[in-house]
Amino acid sequence: MIETKKLLKIYNPGKYEVKAVNDVSTVFAEGEFTAVVGPSGSGKTTFLNCVGGLDTPSSGDVIISDENITKLSGAEIIKYRLNNIGFVFQAYNLIPVLSARENIEMIMLLQGADEKIRKSRTDELLNQVGLYEMRNRRPSQLSGGQQQRVAVARALASKPKFILADEPTANLDTSSTSNLLDIMNKLNINEKITFIFSTHDQRVIDRARRVLTLEDGKIVNDIKK
């Protein structure tokens, strides 16, 4: 479970301050498939970054499975993210000089997993996202949809309970988006992985089973389908 309590993120504190996230309290239960939506500047990405420990809130708490991550030190939050949370970004964020296999395996290298475990897990993930035959290609040799599938596999490498996806379909065509969402939905159902998306893509919103709407950093609607 992920819980936010009175979460506040202020940019430019003082005269010109902007409350990107404004007193947000909510709970994401295990196994949710949730879209966080709203107009540009509504605070979607900032909210997701605070939930995932990529950004430090100005005040409030983020509690994940009874761990208040806002109380962790810089080194502790890095370790926590590595072992508990997977991230998928709009721009893929793959390392261009590494192959698809190496991009996925890198997470397990950082965790200190031995070679046999790394190879087995990487092969399993490549098969799950349908890219085993392209495992030795670098990102520049893959389409946008294929790169995003590698990014999903990389996010899964550490066997996280939660995956936070920031506009993951923004650069994808309809076919690639459908393929990616099919993979994520299957993982959500079969492996009980919680997915939280920030998105303005109606294709993602239609698949979500909960839609949380932000405006000016506040929750204005929360619908469970």
CATH number of the domain enclosing 183: 3.40.50.300
Of 129, 142, 55, 48, the closest CA to residue 95 belongs to 142
Give the pLDDT confidence score for residue 20 in this predicted structure. 95
Give the pLDDT confidence score for residue 86 in this predicted structure. 92
Give the pLDDT confidence score for residue 224 in this predicted structure. 93
Give the 3-state secondary structure of residue 224.
strand
- Model pTM score: 0.89
Which H or E element spans position 60?
A: strand 59-64
Give the pLDDT confidence score for residue 82 in this predicted structure. 87
**Separation in Å, CA 34 to CA 51, 151, 199, 213:** 14, 19, 10, 11
Say how far apart CA 142 and CA 98 lie, in whole Å.
12
Helix residue spans in the chain (DSSP H): 44-51, 74-84, 100-111, 115-128, 144-156, 174-191, 202-207
97-127 pLDDT per residue, tens? 999 999 999 989 988 889 999 999 999 999 9
| Segments of the chain with pLDDT less than 50 | none
* Number of domains comprising the chain: 1
Distance between alpha carbon 201 and the CA centroid of its chain, in Å? 15
Give the pLDDT confidence score for residue 16 in this predicted structure. 84
Domain that holds residue 116: 2-224
b/e code 120-135 from CB counts within 10 Å (16+ = b): ebbeebbebbebeebb
Give the pLDDT confidence score for residue 14 in this predicted structure. 77
